[in-house]
Structure 1
Amino acid sequence: MNGTFYTLPALRRAVRRTAQRYGLPAEVRSRLVLSVADVAAPEFAARRPVIFATDVEDRDNGSVMAATVSAPEASGRLSSTDLPLAAATATSPTSVTWRMPLPMDRTSERRGHRHTVSAPHSEMAAVDEELRATLARADSLMAEHRRLKHELAETNGGVLALYVQLEERDEQLRQAHGTMLKELEDALRPAPLKVAGLELAVHYEPADPRAPTGGDLYDWFTLPDGTLHITVVDALGHGVRSTRSALDVTHAVRTLALEGHPLQSILGRAHDLLMPLAPGLMATALLARIDPRTGKVLLANGSHPPALLLQADGHARYLQVRGRGVGFPLPGSERLLEAHLGPGDLLLLYTDGLTESRRNPCEGEVRLIEAARRHAAKPLTDIPGAIAADMHTIVLHPDDTLALALRVATPALRKRSR
């Protein structure tokens, strides 16, 4: 079947019959026929002849059939890429060769050996065989695709279930962690305090609900003379470390207050006590002393936001006292500020997370007065939380927030409390 060809059908028949004689599998045979046709078609279109030749090469691991297409009159290099039968090599600019292993029981007469070749089937039978092989191959690939798709779906389902389980476990751990930290935070807070003639309430809101501990802390207790002492602290940072810093400050202040040190000197003395133990500690603090019998208020401030006094008639003012906090240069309150609380007056102590959640702290102070007036008529236990909710309708700079409210009870409330 080797020779020179001038038409594509004749070349196809020759290639097919040759491949049959050498027993090439139907799939390989069909790819060879298509590849030879792809290389020769441009030559036939230009009315140039094509030569097809085959040879058998004996190798240590078996025989190989070499099929070569040549176009001696070609005007350019024959293409040997992107063909149905891969591994074609251009043996010359006008020749392309394919080498295909022969089946072990299919050989040709070569080098004195006796070999047998299979008798070719008819052209139609060969085409049917190639088509069936192609369909079988396609069916096999489709079955393999379905199997892999099913396995992938099962794998994805298992991965998704595992992911859901991990998410649920993570959420459980987050909740347990948050609960543990919340219990720790609550344990650090002072116990509720009852003082005759005064109402007290507090609200705390962490910047991150999943990490409820922070540097905002308060302390309240009564001194031997019956006056109420309140400390509000905001330690630098977030999390457990800042909580420890705030706790150090409140403990130092409580110790100094109970020892009888003057209010104005306490912040400076607390600084001197704590710096050798915690050199990196920085905290702002506001100290308040309230005499429930007279309504007299004394305030000392260390770099902390000022207290807000809202009188029963609606008049509001900030009680400004200059000073520097613990860990700051020249710590301590520059002076004591004295104010007076009358029946129905509201005193609000807080940390900067309440007023500085937006860009302008001055705007926050104005909004705080408005919120205090809006909620002043509510029960005191509801006032700090209601004010915080109003102040945090828009939060651009989340921060831990503490709001502590104190109000002189009216005569009616005093009678009920008795």
Structure 2
Amino acid sequence: MTSTTFRTPAALRRTVRGIALNYRLSAEDRARIVLSLSETAATALNAGRPVTLTATDEAGEDGAARLTLALGLPRQDRPAATDGLPLPGEAGADGTVVWRVPLPPPRAPLTTVFPQATRAASATPRTGEADIALLEEELRAALARADHLADEHRKLKHELAETNSGVLALYVQLEKRDEELRTAHGRTLRALEDALRPRPLHVDGLDLAVHYAPASDETPTGGDLYDWFVLPDGTVHITIVDALGHGITSTRTALTVTHAVRTLALEGHPLESIVARTDQILSPFDQSVMATLLLVRLDPATGRLSLANGSHPPALRLRADGTATYLEVRGRGIGFPLPGSERVLTTTLGPEDLLLLYTDGLTESRRDPREGEQRLVSVARAHRSRPTVDLPGAIARDMLAEALHEDDTLALAIRFRASE
């Protein structure tokens, strides 16, 4: 071990470079160690304060040879950190900064002791051309390193671009596949729901049409359902159900209710008792069932109309002259307290009168349900001259054009023409 004191940056650089040459450090490592020690000592040397360099070569714990350089600095010039140096050092508590550089394996046993190497390096006169040659060698090494890093960066960017392109292509494929699956799922559910709906009903003297739209394409089934059939006495029975919730669970509830109503109607139970009786039948099996319903009986020969209601929006009658009336019947639905229709409303449809049955998704998609009911009257009047088959869909499109929230929607139109 030997220590040498330096008072100028040039002398320190020359000595450090000589040591690096003696130990056959690469041009890049040589440049790093020269620059690091020069930058660390610059403040002190430029202010005229000397620094001390101590150098040793020794074997590390792993047996590999390494060069240790310790730079002693005045107290006021000790660096707070060395992370920004080309080769970071270790700041010691005694004010020294230490660098430990692994040495390359020598081609022959390294016999030169460090003190001799230091003295030789310090004593060897160097011309300006020699120093410039060494600096150019170190610069070329730095440039080669920079070029290598730039090349690696270009390759990395190219690989990243290819990876991103592949990921994007995979994402597009997955999105397409997901869309195909959603579409297939929707078609399957729609086909299932269509299969659960009643067959088209053809009755002399009546034109019937229906429109249904789910709250979302992702859940094409819902709790809005209808049923229609002809009773043994020739009258037409229609049930409109709106079960609580959305999706398959609410569809199951609506089907349960319509099947119970159909059974009771075909057994001859009076219209005024069917809502309450349906609740009595279903509640022991499933107390979670909750639904509103509207029951309609219509004689196609006379136009006689009867309605029972369980918490459902009222039917809208639109006369041939444009007069509109909501047929209000109070009642409570399935799963509600004291379920049942309070009475049966009876009236008569005239030729070309229109009866519109619907679920609350048609009128309560706006902030005020009363506003929705008023709008429904205006929309129904605007479309009443359309063919009956197109009427429910046209009314639903206009009503939902400015909907504030999505809901299942059902609209059913009946035009009375009187049988001949």
Residue 7 of structure 2 is matched in structure 1 by 6
Q: 2:357 aligns with which of 335, 346, 349?
A: 349
Q: Structure 2: which amino acid aligns with 1:91? A: G
Residue 112 of structure 2 is matched in structure 1 by 109
Q: Structure 2: which amino acid aligns with 1:109? A: T
Residue 114 of structure 1 is matched in structure 2 by none
SS in 2 for 1:27: helix
Q: Residues 97-123 of structure 1, C-alpha deviation per residue, up to 9 Å, x if partnerless? A: 211121210734349xxxxx9999932
Residue 176 of structure 1 is matched in structure 2 by 184
C-alpha contact (below 8 Å) 1:80/1:90 kept by paired residues: yes
Residue 69 of structure 1 is matched in structure 2 by 71
C-alpha contact (below 8 Å) 2:222/2:248 kept by paired residues: yes
SS in 1 for 2:272: helix
Q: How does 1:194-343 map to 2 (within 5 A)?
A: 194-343=202-351
C-alpha contact (below 8 Å) 1:32/1:84 kept by paired residues: no
Q: Residues 278-323 of structure 1, C-alpha deviation per residue, up to 9 Å, x if partnerless? A: 2210111000000111111000000100000110111111000011
Residue 144 of structure 1 is matched in structure 2 by 152
Q: Structure 1: which amino acid aligns with 2:409? A: T
Shift of 1:367: 0.4
Q: Partners of 1:79 and 1:403 in 2: how far apart?
A: 80
Unaligned runs of 5+ in 2: 115-119
Q: Residues 26-64 of structure 1, C-alpha deviation per residue, up to 9 Å, x if partnerless? A: 111111111111111111221212223322123451222
Shift of 1:87: 4.2
- Comparing 293-302 and 149-158, the one that deviates more: 149-158
Residue 117 of structure 2 is matched in structure 1 by none
Unaligned runs of 5+ in 1: 112-116
Q: Structure 2: which amino acid aligns with 1:88? A: G
Q: Partners of 2:84 and 2:186 in 1: how far apart?
A: 65
Q: Please say if 1:26 is aligned against 2:34.
A: no
CA-based RMSD: 2.4
Shift of 1:207: 0.4
- What is the count of residue pairs matched by the alignment? 409
Q: Partners of 1:92 and 1:330 in 2: how far apart?
A: 88
Q: Structure 2: which amino acid aligns with 1:65? A: L
Q: Partners of 1:101 and 1:107 in 2: how far apart?
A: 14
C-alpha contact (below 8 Å) 2:43/2:77 kept by paired residues: no
Q: Residues 331-366 of structure 1, C-alpha deviation per residue, up to 9 Å, x if partnerless? A: 111110011100111100100000000110010000
Normalising by structure 1, we get a TM-score of 0.92
C-alpha contact (below 8 Å) 1:26/1:129 kept by paired residues: yes
Q: How does 1:108-127 map to 2 (within 5 A)?
A: 108-110=111-113, 122-127=130-135
Q: Partners of 1:100 and 1:330 in 2: how far apart?
A: 91
Q: Please say if 1:41 is aligned against 2:42.
A: yes
Residue 402 of structure 1 is matched in structure 2 by 410
Q: Partners of 2:156 and 2:247 in 1: how far apart?
A: 49
Q: Partners of 1:270 and 1:137 in 2: how far apart?
A: 86
Residue 101 of structure 2 is matched in structure 1 by 100
SS in 1 for 2:329: coil
Q: Partners of 1:268 and 1:23 in 2: how far apart?
A: 102
Q: Partners of 2:89 and 2:307 in 1: how far apart?
A: 95
Identical aligned pairs, as a percentage? Answer: 59
Residue 377 of structure 1 is matched in structure 2 by 385
Q: Residues 121-166 of structure 1, C-alpha deviation per residue, up to 9 Å, x if partnerless? A: 9322211211111111112111211222221112111111111111
Q: Residues 245-275 of structure 1, C-alpha deviation per residue, up to 9 Å, x if partnerless? A: 1111111111111111101111111111111
Q: Please say if 1:56 is aligned against 2:57.
A: yes
- Comparing 139-148 and 363-372, the one that deviates more: 139-148
Q: Partners of 1:332 and 1:27 in 2: how far apart?
A: 94
Q: Partners of 1:302 and 1:409 in 2: how far apart?
A: 28
Q: Partners of 1:187 and 1:54 in 2: how far apart?
A: 92
C-alpha contact (below 8 Å) 2:8/2:46 kept by paired residues: no
Q: Partners of 2:258 and 2:73 in 1: how far apart?
A: 99
Normalising by structure 2, we get a TM-score of 0.92
Q: Residues 53-88 of structure 1, C-alpha deviation per residue, up to 9 Å, x if partnerless? A: 32212345122211122234x435344413434341
Q: Partners of 1:79 and 1:341 in 2: how far apart?
A: 97
Q: Partners of 1:83 and 1:202 in 2: how far apart?
A: 77
Q: Structure 2: which amino acid aligns with 1:266? A: I
Q: Residues 178-209 of structure 1, C-alpha deviation per residue, up to 9 Å, x if partnerless? A: 00000011101111111111111111011002
Q: Partners of 1:85 and 1:143 in 2: how far apart?
A: 21
Shift of 1:397: 2.1
Q: Partners of 1:403 and 1:336 in 2: how far apart?
A: 22
| CA distance 1:90–1:212, change in 2 (3 Å) | closer
Q: Partners of 1:84 and 1:107 in 2: how far apart?
A: 29
| CA distance 1:66–1:307, change in 2 (3 Å) | same
Q: Partners of 2:214 and 2:347 in 1: how far apart?
A: 31
Q: Partners of 2:263 and 2:105 in 1: how far apart?
A: 99
- Comparing 40-49 and 240-249, the one that deviates more: 40-49
SS in 2 for 1:69: strand
C-alpha contact (below 8 Å) 1:290/1:296 kept by paired residues: yes
Q: Partners of 1:14 and 1:277 in 2: how far apart?
A: 98
Q: Structure 1: which amino acid aligns with 2:40? A: V
Q: Partners of 1:356 and 1:78 in 2: how far apart?
A: 74
Q: Structure 2: which amino acid aligns with 1:41? A: A
Q: Partners of 1:278 and 1:308 in 2: how far apart?
A: 32
